[in-house]
Structure 1
Amino acid sequence: MPLRDLLLGLFVIAIWALNIIVIKVGVEELPPLLITTIRFMLVAALLVPFYPVARAQLPFLLLLSVTFGSLHFALLFIGLEHAEAGTGALLVQMGTPFATLLAVVFFKERLGPKRIVGLLLSFAGIAVIAGGPTLPSPLPLTILLLSALGWAISQLLIKRGPPIAPLALAGWVALFAVPQVALGSWLFESGQWQAIKQASWVGWGAIIYTAVMSSIVAYGIWYTLLRRHPINRVIPMTLLTPVFAVGLGALLMGDSLGIHKLIGGGLVVSGIALIVIKFRRAPRLA
């Protein structure tokens, strides 16, 4: 991979890692479902007019808006309101092991010894993190793991669904998710209008960052890299996202770097590496 593309990939990873911190900052000023609603409105406004889709694809996009929009993103914002940014980033990475298990159950994919070890390491890492003082209370923990499950279900749906341009998918999923999360905000949150009036540039900046930088700029660059290079050279870079997020959480938010988080996070990242990286056998010498 050329140095330029490697730097672009690391730039995307940095955007996604900082996105966890930005969400954490944003939900301190605005209710999580409200900020998610505004984020989706902005993404839809910026993408839908320029990326039309076929009418036959709308039911699939509506389904994906439930799993990806409401189950993943909305629960991520809610969970990060009550968890350290680094811990939340590690928990959400469990989407990869969840997706692996779901593929085995529903699509009869074979695991193989390497991926079995990866799954065991990932879940062992969560168990280690659970023994530490930075783990959120059971409800936010469950919410973040459900967010990871929503991501996993969405990835399997995208893999099996109709071919749709990535930015078109992001825009239309956001559009269909708006009424879902807006209804959730109306039912379960209060003081939305007052929060909007009192929000500082930090809160509005958080919304713009998560919508523009994370959802549009980062994914636009990422899918360009996927078109240029073999998947096995690009996907492993995502393993740096929780590493960057934990570091940024400690640097910018004062999050702790206890032994449980370091060891547990290392196990999670190592397990996911075994799941996503395909090792090639060296050719035999004649």
Structure 2
Amino acid sequence: MNLRDTLLGLIIVVVWGFNFVVIAWGLEGMPPLLLGGLRFLLVAVLGCWFVARPDVPLRWLLAYGLTLGFAQFALLFTAMHLGMPAGLASLVLQAQAFFTLLLASFWLKEEIRSYQLLAIMIAGSGLVMIGWGDVWFSSTEIIAEDVQQSMTAIGFGLTIAAAIAWAFGNVVNREIHQRGFNKTKNGAISLVVWSAWIPPLPFFALSLYLEGPLIENALLNIGFSSIFALVYLALIATILGYSLWGYLLSSYPVSQVAPLTLGVPVVGLSCAALLLDEQLSSMQWLGILLVLAGLGVNMRGPHVMRWLSGLSKASAVK
């Protein structure tokens, strides 16, 4: 990448990493399902003026909007509302890369390579450490007093479910392209914007059913943090972030662009520690390193396998 596009890539990483702190701020003054519905409504209302409707049949637009839009963010916002720390959410959500591999192998009949299986095992062990880090340290009674054990089991589980929903959305996206739809220059952002008309209806319906008594108070007493969160999530994280992402994907090989997502949880964890005072146990930090290692193996798999092959040959010679 040239210098300008490298800087654009760094902007995406910072925008998407900081996004999780913004969600936490938004949830302080607004219930999760209402926040999700308003976020996508704002994306649709503003974005449809600037990009044309994608050449995608309605059934596939519905599938994309209900998986990557509604299901992913309904689960993620609820997870964070129920105790999933913002920093850990930014990392655990990246498990979507591995769920995408598994779903693509069943749905699209894509081959899973040996290095991808290795990556899944490494990252999977890291997720286990993150999920059980609090339990292990509590049982051994070596928790430092300043470490906040705020992650809940239901928050962790819902975040994993959000990653699975994202994976379903990725597979739907691949299916859309494989069928020859949405091949225009601005196809990526147009799909995001126009599919945003779909999530508000189930979001608002569920919000009315589950959050009914909270809605009026949240809207009448909406504060700066909630307004800022909505504007950031809609304009910055979604429209700007996906526009830049689509530009990079159209300008460079996917293998060169995709590794940028490794920086998202780094920014997410750093921002959460600085702005939300989130603390993690040593076991969870080890799990984080394993997840990042797994993501790295998935992105740079052929190089890793050649390196391992070289090591085995060198040891055999000795």
Normalised by the length of structure 2, the TM-score is 0.84
Aligned counterparts of 1:96 and 1:135: Cα–Cα separation in 2? 26
Pairing partner for 1:170 from 171, 181, 192: 192
Q: How far did 1:250 drift?
A: 0.5
Q: How far did 1:110 drift?
A: 2.0
Partner of 2:297: 274
Pairing partner for 1:226 from 249, 256, 260: 249
Aligned counterparts of 2:48 and 2:35: Cα–Cα separation in 1? 20
Q: How far did 1:125 drift?
A: 0.4
Q: How far did 1:123 drift?
A: 0.5
Q: How far did 1:178 drift?
A: 0.9
Partner of 1:194: 217
Q: How far did 1:194 drift?
A: 1.0
Amino acid in the other structure paired with 1:71: A
Partner of 2:176: 161
Partner of 1:51: 51
Quote the RMSD (CA, aligned, Å).
1.8
Partner of 2:281: 258
Aligned counterparts of 1:171 and 1:274: Cα–Cα separation in 2? 32
Residues 270/65 of structure 1: CA separation in 2 closer, same or farther (3 Å cut):
same
Partner of 2:202: 180
The answer to whether the 8 A contact 1:40-1:174 is kept is: yes
Partner of 1:69: 69
Partner of 1:28: 28
1:109 correspondence with 2:110? yes
Aligned counterparts of 1:70 and 1:17: Cα–Cα separation in 2? 20
Q: How far did 1:136 drift?
A: 2.8
The answer to whether the 8 A contact 2:115-2:302 is kept is: no
Structure 1: gaps spanning 5 or more residues: none
Pairing partner for 2:260 from 237, 249, 253: 237
Pairing partner for 1:149 from 161, 164, 172: 164
Aligned counterparts of 2:38 and 2:117: Cα–Cα separation in 1? 40
SS of residue paired to 2:196:
helix
The answer to whether the 8 A contact 1:123-1:268 is kept is: yes
Residues 126/179 of structure 1: CA separation in 2 closer, same or farther (3 Å cut):
same
Q: How far did 1:137 drift?
A: 2.3
Aligned counterparts of 1:266 and 1:13: Cα–Cα separation in 2? 18
Partner of 1:129: 130
Pairing partner for 2:230 from 207, 218, 222: 207
Aligned counterparts of 1:122 and 1:240: Cα–Cα separation in 2? 16
SS of residue paired to 2:198:
helix
Q: How far did 1:135 drift?
A: 6.8
Aligned counterparts of 1:269 and 1:234: Cα–Cα separation in 2? 16
Compare CA radii of gyration and give the structure with the larger one.
Answer: 2
Number of matched pairs: 282
Residues 166/265 of structure 1: CA separation in 2 closer, same or farther (3 Å cut):
same
Residues 56/270 of structure 1: CA separation in 2 closer, same or farther (3 Å cut):
closer
Range moving further from structure 2, 18-27 or 67-76: 67-76
Aligned counterparts of 2:240 and 2:53: Cα–Cα separation in 1? 20
Amino acid in the other structure paired with 2:96: G
- 1:78-89 correspondence to structure 2 within 5 Å: 78-81=78-81, 82-89=83-90
Aligned counterparts of 1:38 and 1:2: Cα–Cα separation in 2? 37
After the TM superposition, which segments of 4 or more aligned residues of structure 1 sit over 6 Å from their partners? none
The answer to whether the 8 A contact 1:135-1:141 is kept is: no
Aligned counterparts of 1:209 and 1:54: Cα–Cα separation in 2? 24
Residues 144/205 of structure 1: CA separation in 2 closer, same or farther (3 Å cut):
same
Aligned counterparts of 2:132 and 2:54: Cα–Cα separation in 1? 49
Amino acid in the other structure paired with 1:58: L
Identity fraction in percent: 29
The answer to whether the 8 A contact 1:91-1:144 is kept is: yes
